[in-house]
Amino acid sequence: MTDFEFQAIKSVGFVIALAVAVGIQRLRPHRKLEGSWRANSRLWALDVVILGSVCAGCACAVSRWASGGGVGLLNQFPASAWLAIPTSVIALDLVSYFWHRANHALPLLWRFHQAHHSDANYTVTTALRFHPGELLLALPVRLVAVAGLGVPITGVIVFEVVFALANFCEHGNIDLPRKFEQALGRLLVTPALHRRHHSREARLLETNYGTIFSVWDRLLGTYGENRSDVRIDTGLPEIDHPLGTLEILWLPARGVFRGK
Ligand SMILES: [Zn+2]
């Protein structure tokens, strides 16, 4: 697979994931919100340009290199795609869980990650609201994980698309039917579970770090129950107005906003 094909498949998957999440959000809105889509979309456009310039096809290149050189766990034995792809998705999601926890635990990383948490309008486009500094710091972590696990290119693509779908849906201003939400939340991260992670209250903020699977939080003691009918005020405690794109970019330099 060429780098171009990799990017094209990833981009189509990304657009479909976004459309699915926006569709569910329209069908089952949680509460009336203004939305911060302008600032979030501008930030995302900047991220695409910066990350694209630094290393657009890095994950693809690292996967190809690991496969060619017999590097990484999955390249040590002949694993079929049926085993290698789900293993890759599960393992990369676990790496993402630990990276997310590090973003909350280490003050330098939190300075960048708080840009994501600064959205008082918790909607699908919150999933686009990442400071380019956070994404640049995350890039080597993701690449080391791909090499260390020996993730095949198809595994990288499936993970990135499933991760994008989970990321868009769980940031949605979405209510789910009670029983479906309960059943889904046993395995996967629901919008209500992740909404709790975006609370203005520090006590709630330090829970539900998972993106695809909720089992990591359950196994590692960071799970916090939440349902669609519970109101959670999202955002950062000391920020009381919607931030523009430049203000979001400037947040790491302004200080640490975390609440008590
Ligand atoms: Zn977070």
Contact 149, 91 (CB under 8 A): yes
Answer whether 178's CB lies under 8 Å from 234's CB.
no
Q: State the average pLDDT for the chain.
A: 92
pLDDT tens per residue across span 92-105:
999 999 999 999 99
Confidence of residue 82 (pLDDT cuts 50, 70, 90): confident
Q: What is the pLDDT of residue 259?
A: 61
- How many angstroms separate the alpha carbon of residue 113 from the centre of ligand 1? 7
Angle at alpha carbon of residue 222, lines to 217 and 225, rounded to 5°? 85
Distance of CA 88 from the midpoint of ligand 1 (Å)? 23
How big is the CA angle at 13 (ends 10 and 19), to the nearest 5 degrees? Answer: 140
pLDDT at 106 over 90: yes
Q: Which helix (H) or strand (E) holds 83?
A: helix 81-105
φ, ψ (nearest 5 deg) of residue 160: -65, -40
CA of 198 to the centre of ligand 1 (A): 7
Model pLDDT for residues 124-140, shown as the tens digit of each residue? 999 999 999 999 999 99
For the segment 224-233, what is each residue's pLDDT rounded down to a tens digit?
A: 999 999 999 9
- More confident call, 107 vs 6: 107
- CA-based R_g, the chain, Å: 18
Give the distance (Å) from ligand 1 centre to CA of residue 7.
27
Question: CB neighbours (10 Å) of residue 21?
Answer: 25
**Ligand 1 centroid distance, CA of 61 (Å):** 29
Query: pLDDT by residue (tens digit) across 32-47?
Result: 877 788 999 999 999 9
Is 0.85 surpassed by the pTM of this model?
yes
Cα of 5 from ligand 1 centre, angstroms: 31
> What's the CA-to-centroid distance between 103 and ligand 1, angstroms?
7
Percent of the chain exceeding pLDDT 90 equals: 76
Under a CB-based contact definition with an 8 Å cutoff, are residues 63 and 85 in contact?
Answer: no
First-to-final CA distance of the chain: 49
Domain limits of the chain?
Answer: 3-254
CA of 134 to the centre of ligand 1 (A): 11
Convert the pLDDT of each residue in 199-226 to its tens digit: 998 888 999 999 999 999 999 999 999 9
